[in-house]
Amino acid sequence: MRYKATGLGSVIAQQGRTQEWVARQGGIHPSHLCRLLAGQRTITEDAARAIANALGVPVSLLFEAVTD
């Protein structure tokens, strides 16, 4: 399953995290995160979970599942 970002950008801003830090937590390249936040990319379920865990919030607050 793939995920698109819905609330990720606002949580990053609220927590004062950098995009580079978030990308590292999810095991993705910073440019991939930038495209994810712009709605141009999706990420794997594992990456979505890793980011949510690092930010201490549920996956559903940050992402929406998409079907191909």
CATH, residue 36: 1.10.260.40
pLDDT in tens, 23-54: 999 999 999 999 999 999 999 999 999 999 99
Structural domain count, the chain: 1
User: What contacts 26, CB < 8 A, 6 or more positions away?
Assistant: 33, 43, 47, 48, 50, 51, 54
| Per-residue pLDDT at 54 | 97
Domain range for residue 58?
2-66
- Give CA–CA dist 39/21, Å, rounded: 19
Write down the pTM of the prediction: 0.94
